[in-house]
């Protein structure tokens, strides 16, 4: 069934509460493992119906944030989702307290119970109204960035459309585009600061109500990070500071030389080649047709998956007025259908975002056989391995998109991926500071951001831009507002994806087979155990950081 034919019906929360309560009580009273399993299955069917409606609503709202119907439905889910979380929490309590826990663990695996135990810590009925308010504040930020209509070159542009000009080979154009972009965030600085300040204080209040010292550990528990902690992440940041940051700084000098500029400015950072980063040939539809050819040749598994996506119109890639500016993959569980959402803008971003989101979609397509929702997706850092690795597995087909500039496109992709990591740890360290000192003022937060930037990205020169010099760059990073602590995930995954890339250079078949096995495992294991399935070294080991940094640097150095 095509996505336009997917039926949306607002869930009846009163009815769901009644059904849920009945099944949870039956699970608590179950007199056999079989009866307990039956209750779990019935609860999951209720959850699947709710999840399906929520996913359809979110996708259609993001397709057009001006659509009044789905705007109201999104508002409904902002209030209904925390209620549903509370019901699921009751289910989790009954599950872990069940007399038949051992038997259920044999059926569903240990990871479900690990997720349940963490989730129980993150919810109490008394935080329900706070969670609803948190959702509403996150929506305010999403609507703010979606509303951007930035005047440039005689046209009004959305943020993704403007970013295309910020990648221009013409330094004057990219400077003007970058200034226009940050002028929007500067003019909304007070509004963004207010939204974020309220979010930080609200999340801290929620953490205290739940018995946490701060939101930091609650943030980790919300993300069901069961096998690593803030100290391990701090050690990772330190290893990156020691081994990777100096390499990126060294390559920035090479980048300045290639661009023919004396010193890189902030608007130069994303452009690697003097003639500009290679742009894919053709429009959105032609890029999708080339992707179809690529996935049909890549493997039988990817051919089946991508044709399913096309036949059911499960991609929305064109940038337009009112469309949410990000890119994501969602999963509509009752239709067993992933959905890819992006904003093409005519740059190399288009191929990267398509292959990236296709990696997410391929994984959940391969995991859709799991009977429980918890295993459709793994934890987020593992999810990003699927997406970032798919970007690299697409390398042998870059000629389809870039023609004779294929190798240059590979260079820009790999170099950009390495350059990202210092920024990724910068975002993470900033968030730890924010939630460890929740009473800091917006001005103090911006000052701290700037200090952290200088630690991980000492080469940045903001060329007198006051908004950026005063630490405002993070205002454009939606994750900081909407998904606290979901960002180091990209760093962890990138280090893993680099390993798949290194392996694929000498044994593509073996590397891809392990990648498919990883996708097939879904979320049935925690992060570090999934690394074992994929035969990847842990990013938390210092030697792993050194190993991938050296390989990536050597390849860039020999191809630049």
Phi/psi of residue 344, each to 5°? -65, 145
Rounded CA separation 448/438 (Å) = 13
Q: Are 122 and 203 in contact (CB under 8 A)?
A: no
CB distance 236 to 127 below 8 Å = no
DSSP code string of 352-370: HHHHHHHHHHHHHHHTTT-
Cβ neighbours of residue 158 closer than 8 Å, sequence gap 6 or more? 148, 149, 150, 319, 320, 321, 323, 325, 343
Q: What are phi and psi of 80, to 5 degrees?
A: -75, -35
Q: What is the mean pLDDT of the chain?
A: 96
Q: What b/e readout covers 75-87, taking b as 16+ CB neighbours within 10 angstroms?
A: ebbbbbebbbebb
pLDDT bin (cut points 50, 70, 90) of residue 516 is very high
Q: How far apart are CA 122 and CA 339, in angstroms?
A: 29
Q: Which two tokens stand for residue 199?
A: 């979010």
* Distance (Å, whole) CA 39 – CA 195: 41
pLDDT recorded at residue 346: 86
For 50, residues 6+ apart whose C-beta sits below 8 A from its C-beta are 11, 16, 84
Q: Across the chain, how many H-helices and E-strands are there?
A: 25, 5
Question: Which two three-digit tokens encode residue 358?
Answer: 């296709």
Q: 440-495 pLDDT, tens per residue?
A: 999 999 999 999 999 999 999 999 999 999 999 999 999 999 999 999 999 999 99
- Model confidence over 230-275: pLDDT tens digits? 999 999 999 999 999 999 999 999 999 999 998 999 999 999 999 9
First to last CA, the chain: 46
Q: Is the dihedral of CA 155, 167, 181, 494 positive or negative?
A: positive
Q: What are the two backbone dihedrals, phi and then psi, of residue 281, each rounded to the nearest 5 degrees?
A: -80, 140
Any idea of the CA torsion for 543, 548, 550, 554, to the nearest 10 degrees? 170
Of 437, 419, 433, 441, nearest to 494 by C-alpha is 419
- Give the containing element (helix H, strand E) for 82: helix 68-96
Q: Which residues contact 482 (CB under 8 A, 6 or more apart)?
A: 138, 141, 142
Main-chain phi, psi angles of 269, to 5 degrees = -60, -35
Task: Enumerate the β-bridge partners of residue 337.
Answer: 332
Per-residue model confidence (pLDDT) at position 240 = 98
Average pLDDT over residues 285-302: 98
pLDDT at 160 over 90: no
The closest of 446, 478, 480 to 462, measured between CA atoms, is 446
Tokens of 126: 């008394």
Coil, strand or helix: which one is 315?
strand
Give the distance, in angstroms, between the CA of residue 331 and the centroid of all CA atoms in the same chain: 14
d(CA 338, CA 359): 11
Q: What is the pLDDT of residue 347?
A: 84
d(CA 236, CA 231): 9
Q: Is 535 left (phi over 0), alpha (psi -120 to 50) or beta?
A: left
pLDDT tens, position by position, 314-342: 999 998 888 988 899 999 999 999 999 99
Mean of pLDDT values over 112-117? 96
pLDDT at 147 over 90: no
H/E segment holding residue 426: helix 406-436
For the residues 18-25, what does the mean pLDDT come to? 97
The mean pLDDT of 128-152, rounded to a whole number, is: 92
Q: Is the pTM of this model over 0.85?
A: yes
In eight-state DSSP terms, residue 166 is T
- Closest C-alpha to 294, from 364, 394, 389, 405: 394
Name the token pair of 13.
């929360």
Q: What band does 406 get if pLDDT is binned at 50, 70 and 90?
A: very high
The model's confidence at residue 349, banded by pLDDT at 50, 70 and 90, is confident
CA distance 377 to 366: 10
φ, ψ for residue 387, nearest 5 deg: -75, -50
For residue 345, name the pLDDT band (cuts at 50, 70, 90). Answer: confident
Q: What's residue 181's pLDDT?
A: 95
For the stretch 41-48, contacts whose Cβ atoms lie closer than 8 Å and that sit 24 or more positions apart, written own/partner, are 41/371, 43/91, 44/371, 44/372, 44/373, 46/16, 46/19, 46/20, 47/84, 47/88, 47/373, 48/333, 48/334, 48/373
State residue 536's pLDDT score. Answer: 98
At which residue do the structure tokens 């930091």 appear?
Answer: 216
Among 183-187, 292-296, 346-350, 519-523, the least confident range: 346-350
The whole-number pLDDT of residue 112 equals: 97
* pLDDT for 484: 96
- Rounded CA-CA distance 315/310 in Å is 7
* pLDDT-above-90 percentage for the chain: 94
pLDDT above 90 (res 545): yes
């Amino acid at each position: 069934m095509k996505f336009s034919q997917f039926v949306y019906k607002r869930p009846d929360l009163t009815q769901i509460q009644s059904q849920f309560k009945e099944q949870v009580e039956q699970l608590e009273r179950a007199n056999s493992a079989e009866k307990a399993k039956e209750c779990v299955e019935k609860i999951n069917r209720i959850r699947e119906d709710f999840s399906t409606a929520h996913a359809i609503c979110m996708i259609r709202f993001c397709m057009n944030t001006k659509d009044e119907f789905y705007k109201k439905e999104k508002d409904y889910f902002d209030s209904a989702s925390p209620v549903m979380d509370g019901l699921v929490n009751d289910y989790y309590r009954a599950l872990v307290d069940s007399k038949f826990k051992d038997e259920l663990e044999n059926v569903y695996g240990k990871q479900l119970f690990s997720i349940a135990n963490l989730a129980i810590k993150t919810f109490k009925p008394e935080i329900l109204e706070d969670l609803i308010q948190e959702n509403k504040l996150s929506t305010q930020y999403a609507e703010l960035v979606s509303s951007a209509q930035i005047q440039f070159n005689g046209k009004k542009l959305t943020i993704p459309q403007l970013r295309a000009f910020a990648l221009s080979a013409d330094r004057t154009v990219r400077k003007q585009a970058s200034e226009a972009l940050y002028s929007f965030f500067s003019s909304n600085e007070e509004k963004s600061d207010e939204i974020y300040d309220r979010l930080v204080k609200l999340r801290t209040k929620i953490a205290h109500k739940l018995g946490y010292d701060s939101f930091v550990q609650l943030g980790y528990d919300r993300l069901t990070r069961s096998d690593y902690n803030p100290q391990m992440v701090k050690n990772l940041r330190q290893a990156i500071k020691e081994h990777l940051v100096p390499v990126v700084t060294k390559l920035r000098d090479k980048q300045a030389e290639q661009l023919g500029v004396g010193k890189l400015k902030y608007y130069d950072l994303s452009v690697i080649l003097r003639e500009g980063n290679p742009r894919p040939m053709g429009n959105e539809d032609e890029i999708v047709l080339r992707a179809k050819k690529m996935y049909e040749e890549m493997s039988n598994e990817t051919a089946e998956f991508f044709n399913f996506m096309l036949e059911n119109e499960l991609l929305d890639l064109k940038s337009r007025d009112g469309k949410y500016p990000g890119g994501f993959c969602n999963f509509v569980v009752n239709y067993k259908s992933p959905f890819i959402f992006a904003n093409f803008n005519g740059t190399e971003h288009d191929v990267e975002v398509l292959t990236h989101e296709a990696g997410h979609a391929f994984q959940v397509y391969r995991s859709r056989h799991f009977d429980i929702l918890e295993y459709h997706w793994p934890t987020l850092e593992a999810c990003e391995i699927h997406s970032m690795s798919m970007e690299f597995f697409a390398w042998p087909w870059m000629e389809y998109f870039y023609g004779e500039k294929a190798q240059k496109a590979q260079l820009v992709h790999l170099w950009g991926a390495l350059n990202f990591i210092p920024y990724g740890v910068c975002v993470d360290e900033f968030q730890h500071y924010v939630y460890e000192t929740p009473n800091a003022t917006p001005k103090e937060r911006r000052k701290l951001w700037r200090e952290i930037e200088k630690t991980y990205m000492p080469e940045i020169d903001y060329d007198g831009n006051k908004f950026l010099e005063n630490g405002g760059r993070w205002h454009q990073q939606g994750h900081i507002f909407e998904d606290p602590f979901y960002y180091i995930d990209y760093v962890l995954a990138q280090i893993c994806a680099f390993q798949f890339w290194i392996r694929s250079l000498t044994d593509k078949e073996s590397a891809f087979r392990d990648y498919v096995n990883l996708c097939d495992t879904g979320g049935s294991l925690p992060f570090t155990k999934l690394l074992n399935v994929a035969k990847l070294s842990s990013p938390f080991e210092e030697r792993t950081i050194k190993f991938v940094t050296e390989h990536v640097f050597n390849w860039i150095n020999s191809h630049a």
